Amino acid sequence: MAGGFLEALLGGLAVVGLVGGITGFVAWIVVRMKKKWRATLETTRELLEWAVPVQKGPWYVSAKLHGAYRGFQVVVDTYTVDQSTSTRIRVSGGGLPRDLHLEREGMGASLKKVFVGADVEVGDPSFDDHIVLRGPADDLLPLFDESTRSQVMDAFLAPKSFFDQNHLQVKKGEMTWRKSGIVRDAAVLEKEITRLVNLAAALSRPMVSPAAALLAMSQEEQSPGVRARAYWELLSSFPDSAEAEAAVHASAERLDPAYGKDLGQEGILLRLLEEGARADQLAAIRRLAVHGSARAVVPLRRIEELKDSVLAPLARDAIAQVQQHLHGAQGGLSVVDEVGPAGALSLGQSVAGGVSLVVPEDVVDASSPGGVPTSAQPTEEA
């Protein structure tokens, strides 16, 4: 009986020893891996000339780098989810916009559009087709000039394989880069930190005047789509700015080099309305609402009939404003809106004193810019 007890005891000790040995071996491997990670961080810090110490922590916590670097808060660490460990770099502060959202286009990003709406497009297909950009367009679009777009694409579209996943996202004022596994090459970390901080600086650069930045983009960008998008945003978000005036002048001069600098010149506004791009039409409608006469009604009515979700309501409002200008002008001119939607000025207008003001749609002065209707001519009633 004693012999059986001794055998059982020895067997139990053997099992305990085996388990202890395995546990010790695993702990030794973990400690060794953590030492290698600390060494990687030390080398990374030296390569960057980053004057922050490596934060070691207890043996069961991985070391990390955390501190200010070139005006930003940078954290380099690892984290584990479902027994899978990844390397992570986070960059925040330094003026990185909190309302900016950037990620790579993909299945998940496409599904989000169903719930949060379409993303902002800058007009460059090589960028818009691969990068999801969300946030207020009037604040963010001026940031995405050619240089910034190039940096974004370089950071987000870095080559990767299925077994070498990395992920980058900008959200709520923080840029987060993740790579599956533990990166033990300090040169890789140094390269990624430098790239991310450079990108953060580009996205955080002070914008003295968004309108001025949009004007520069509308005139200097190589991509025609970006120029058009910036022009539209400038006229939409800053319609009364000096930059918007300058942009419309430049567009008008492209149509007619002899065009003067007076935006009250109705003929060129009508020509922009008839021949210009959509942004030119936007600018012309807004200015005709102030400077337009009865001559502008037919072209504005044509724009309204196109049912453009943006331009049609503006054209209708512009017609209403022209109607208000004409009402009571020149000794009691009275305009009667007989047909059409609210605010749509009819082409037959009665004038106090027995004069009828008629603007036939088929009466066009061929010498007028863009083939626009000539000034209305009063006719004596019988």
What's the rounded Cα separation, in Å, for the pair 197 and 133?
Answer: 19
Q: SS3 for 166? A: strand
In the chain, domain spans: 27-204, 239-380
- pLDDT for position 128: 93
Residues 6+ apart with CB under 8 A from 98: 172, 173
Q: How many CB atoms lie within 10 A of CB 120?
A: 19
- pLDDT for position 372: 32
Phi (first) and psi of residue 354, to 5 degrees: 85, 20
- pLDDT for position 172: 92
Beta bridge partners of 69: 72
What's the rounded Cα separation, in Å, for the pair 88 and 64?
Answer: 10
- pLDDT for position 325: 76
- pLDDT for position 236: 83
Please provide the size of the chain in residues. Answer: 382
- Find out whether 131 and 150 touch, Cβ atoms under 8 Å: no
Residue 253 structure tokens? 């001069």
Name the E strands within 43-150. Answer: 65-69, 72-81, 84-92, 101-104, 131-134
Q: What is the mean pLDDT of each run of 10 residues along the chain (382 residues)?
A: 59 57 52 77 92 79 89 92 88 91 74 62 92 90 92 82 68 93 91 94 85 91 90 86 85 68 67 82 84 84 86 88 71 38 36 30 33 34 33
Q: SS3 for 176? A: strand
What's the rounded Cα separation, in Å, for the pair 125 and 226?
Answer: 9
- pLDDT for position 11: 60
Instruction: Compute CA 337 distance to the chain's CA centroid, rounded to the nearest angstrom.
Output: 42
What's the rounded Cα separation, in Å, for the pair 65 and 53?
Answer: 7
Q: How many CB atoms lie within 10 A of CB 351?
A: 18
